A = this chain, B = another copy of it.
Amino acid sequence: MRDEFRADLQIVSQLLVDMAEAIRAAMRQATRALLTADRQAAETVIERDAEIDDLYRHVEERVCNLLARQAPVASDLRAMITALHVAADLERMGDLADHVAKTALRRHPSPAVPAELRTVFTDMASIADRMAEKIGKVLAKPDADLAAELDRDDDTMDDLHKSLFAVLLGDDWPYGVETAIDATLLGRFYERFADHAVNAGEHVVYLITGEPAASAE
């Protein structure tokens, strides 16, 4: 029974690692679509979001199956509930990559991000990518220190988000309202991506330490 539980848990963990890799790839590609007006990259992200949703459903099915067959308690039960939370965060991160891709596509062949904002979006995307990478690592091999780094990464993301608004609200903003709306929504997508990475990290920390972390919001 115990060995069987371990084997099932391993499968669930692997599905979560697969999800983390998929959402990382999705956000990288969505960023490329955004910054280089790459139509094909955008379409790939949108098409492949269904695969991330499928992985989410697989996690749910596995966990429910495992709860029904094995009736785990204590830390084993906590691991199952954690898997559900983390999968929900990762699924939502996939949606956010999809939103970035759709914004890029809506403006294609024009770039959705004007020259003045390329640096800040490049930096936000770079933090998002780093956070997605860390979530993947932490899920493959629980590491409370690495998970805790996500909080600091999120602070950097918040600073970048503020600097985005500073550009939009500067007296010399040369674009109109439409570009500002796009940039506002895009900024929010990257920022929420980071929030969900922090949430997922907190769930993993809780699993390792048994101590709930403060909520990211």
Known: A53-B215, A180-B177, A180-B181. A68 touches B64 (CB 8 A): no
Query: How distant is the Cα of A184 from the Cα of B181 in the complex, in angstroms?
Result: 6
Range class of the A interface residue count: 20 to 34
Q: Which residue in chain B gives the minimum CB-CB distance to A98?
A: B217
Whose C-beta in chain B lies nearest to the C-beta of A175? Answer: B177
Residues of B within 8 Å of A74, CB to CB, are 68
| A188 close to chain B: CB less than 8 A | yes
- Say yes or no for A7: interface residue by CB 8 A criterion: no
Instruction: Give Cα A168–Cα B181 distance, bound, in whole angstroms.
Output: 9
- State in angstroms the CA–CA spacing of A26 and B188 once bound together: 22
A81 with B78, Cβ < 8 A, contacts A169-B178, A177-B173, A181-B184 known: no
Chain A, 92-117, CB within 8 A of any chain B CB: 95
A208 nearest CB across to chain B (Å): 17
Which of B73, B95, B168, B178 is close to A217, meaning CB atoms less than 8 Å apart? B95
Tell me the bound Cα distance from A182 to B29 in angstroms: 29
Could you tell me which residues of chain A, from 48 to 66, have a CB within 8 Å of some CB in chain B?
53, 60, 64
Whether, in the assembled complex, A71 has its beta carbon less than 8 Å from a beta carbon of chain B, the answer is yes
**CB pair A81 B68 closer than 8 Å:** no
B64 touches A77 (CB 8 A): yes
B60-A67 in contact (CB<8A)? no
- Smallest CB–CB gap between A169 and chain B, Å? 6
CB pair B68 A67 closer than 8 Å: no
Give A154 to B9 CA distance when docked, in angstroms. Answer: 37
Check B168–A177 contact: CB distance below 8 A. Answer: yes
CB of B60 within 8 A of CB of A81, answer yes
Residues of A participating in the B interface, judged by any CB pair closer than 8 Å: 53, 60, 64, 67-68, 71, 73-74, 77-78, 81, 84-85, 88, 95, 165, 168-169, 173, 177-178, 180-181, 184-185, 188, 215, 217
